[in-house]
Structure 1
Amino acid sequence: MTSKTRGLSRRLIALAPRELREKVPRDHLETDAAFHRRRRVVGGVSIAGAALLGRSLTTEPDSKEFYGLTLGVAATWTAGALASGPLHRGWEQADDNLLRRPLVTPVALGFASFGAFYGAALVCRRVPVLNRALTDILAFADQGSAPLVAATTFANGAAEEVFFRGALYAAAGTRHPVAKSTAIYTLATTATRNPALVMAGGVMGTLFGLQRRASGGIQAPLLTHLTWSALMLRFMPPLFRRDGHDEVDQDLPPRV
């Protein structure tokens, strides 16, 4: 990372809310043997989970294969996180300087993140490649069984946080863990071959990583992720419904 890049990174962090900027006191030291073991587990699970993720999105929406594979992805992330070593819930520092478990702020940040994504989605509808990518991915929510889609969405959201912001973040070491964990998280989403998911992974991975960095644990990013996912699942599919495109979509080539 160049000095110019580091300077830009510091300026951006300085503009972030306190909950993303200030680290709470914590001690997550572990032995060299435990650290190297965590890295070995994380390396293998990252490859296996990404492969399953890519395979799950080649199936048909609302098929047994889709639900089985997506639950398999969640199980892979979760098992890998638990096998890698201790996970920490984290804290946030309140205005009275007392440490509390993060709750209200992460949920509020989930709402704010959804608002930003919803606004971006209105723009993406006018960009053919992104419109197609979002239509394809949201078809799994729009055409699937609502309870099953919700279950798999929340299971994967929670599993991603315990693995990527729990195990993998800890395995990244003390030098640039946010950048490293976000890069691997984004790389894992490239297995889906969906540019919208890759872009979302980069943006939200950075946000979740900053929450992990500041709080020292997975609770804050997990709550933000689940809140954001619930709102995306509820309000985003109607914007990209395959059988209800507006005039923006009329010039798109037919599906093959």
Structure 2
Amino acid sequence: MSTTTRSARRQQMITAVFAVIGAVLLGSLLRFEPGGTNFYLVTLALALVWTIGAFAAGPVHLGRQGWATLRLAGPARHPDETRPDAGPRDRFIGPRPLLWPLAIGLGLAGVFVVGGLIVREIPFLYDAVTAVLAFADAGTGPLLLFITVVNGLAEELFFRGALYDAVRGRKVLITTVVYAFATLLTGNVMLAFAAIVIGLVCGQQRRVTGGILAPMITHVTWSASMLYALPLLFPM
């Protein structure tokens, strides 16, 4: 067995182990009392699991705004300039992605707000949203914002970082399915739906930038926006 093969299998094994641990913790989140200490502790533990799993599985790359196919083959000067889902002559180039992922996050938030106007007219979907918002309503503002940001960053580190690198083929689809399934373990269909949308959008960003910076910015922007926008649409 070659060194490359052993390294890939090690990466896949580590990712799988942390995916299971994280999924179990994620599935238990909504079973705690809203605003209770246990909820915050498990939420922070979950972020720690995703983060440790991401770095244990291998290097994490930030990515760049674009990519170009080079005419001359050769090793990339920087690890994050190699396009993992394309040929060996493809390199990621340009500055770090900052503004456009922010714009995408705000755009997604706008789409979800419009969707919320429809969802609140459907009783069982309304109940699914308010079940999540109960935790926001019972929590303290700064702490809730902190765990929202931290978990958004940690999820992208793991799902669009370690898991994306560990998957061989159909990376965006597979990472989105795994992310949605782990979220569905909470028992909340609206969280699972949001995971599908975020997974597809952030997965595409990882694909075109080669790193997790753009997905992180989009995810955190969307999450923070929803934290403040949804309670206005779904008053408790």
Q: Please state which band the TM-score falls in when normalised by the shorter chain.
A: 0.7 to 0.9
Moved over 2 A (4+): none
How far apart in 1 are the matches of 2:224 and 2:63? 22
The alignment's TM-score, normalised by the length of structure 1, stands at: 0.80
How many angstroms does 1:61 deviate by?
1.2
**Is 1:34 paired with 2:7?**
yes
Letter in 2 for 1:162: L
Which residue of 2 is the match for residue 57 of structure 1?
A: 30
Q: CA contact under 8 A between 1:139 and 1:237: conserved in structure 2?
A: no
How far apart in 1 are the matches of 2:66 and 2:21? 37
Which residue of 1 is the match for residue 48 of structure 2?
A: 75
How many angstroms does 1:98 deviate by?
5.9
Which residue of 1 is the match for residue 197 of structure 2?
A: 203
**Is 1:238 paired with 2:211?**
no
How far apart in 1 are the matches of 2:14 and 2:204? 23
Which of 204, 215, 224 is the aligned partner of 2:218? 224
Render the CA deviation track for 1:194-225: whole Å, top value 9, x for unaligned: 00001111111100100001101000000000
Letter in 2 for 1:171: A
The 5-angstrom pairing of residues 1-256 of structure 1 reads 31-93=4-66, 99-173=94-168, 175-242=169-236
How many angstroms does 1:241 deviate by?
2.6
Q: CA contact under 8 A between 2:167 and 2:174: conserved in structure 1?
A: yes
Letter in 2 for 1:67: Y
Structure 2, unmatched stretches of 5+, are: 68-91
Which residue of 2 is the match for residue 22 of structure 1?
A: none
Q: CA contact under 8 A between 2:172 and 2:200: conserved in structure 1?
A: yes
Aligned length: 210
User: In angstroms, what is the RMSD of aligned CA positions?
Assistant: 1.4
How far apart in 1 are the matches of 2:176 and 2:156? 11
Q: CA contact under 8 A between 1:78 and 1:162: conserved in structure 2?
A: yes
How far apart in 1 are the matches of 2:167 and 2:93? 29
Structure 1, unmatched stretches of 5+, are: 1-29, 243-256
The alignment's TM-score, normalised by the length of structure 2, stands at: 0.86
Q: CA contact under 8 A between 1:139 and 1:241: conserved in structure 2?
A: no
How many angstroms does 1:32 deviate by?
1.8
Q: CA contact under 8 A between 1:34 and 1:85: conserved in structure 2?
A: no
How many angstroms does 1:143 deviate by?
1.7
SS at match of 1:76: helix
How far apart in 2 are the matches of 1:146 and 1:139? 13
How far apart in 1 are the matches of 2:52 and 2:12? 14
Render the CA deviation track for 1:72-109: whole Å, top value 9, x for unaligned: 11011001001001111001139xx9611000000000
Query: What percent of counterpart residues are identical?
Result: 43
How many angstroms does 1:151 deviate by?
1.1
SS at match of 1:87: coil
How far apart in 1 are the matches of 2:94 and 2:64? 6
Q: CA contact under 8 A between 2:62 and 2:211: conserved in structure 1?
A: yes
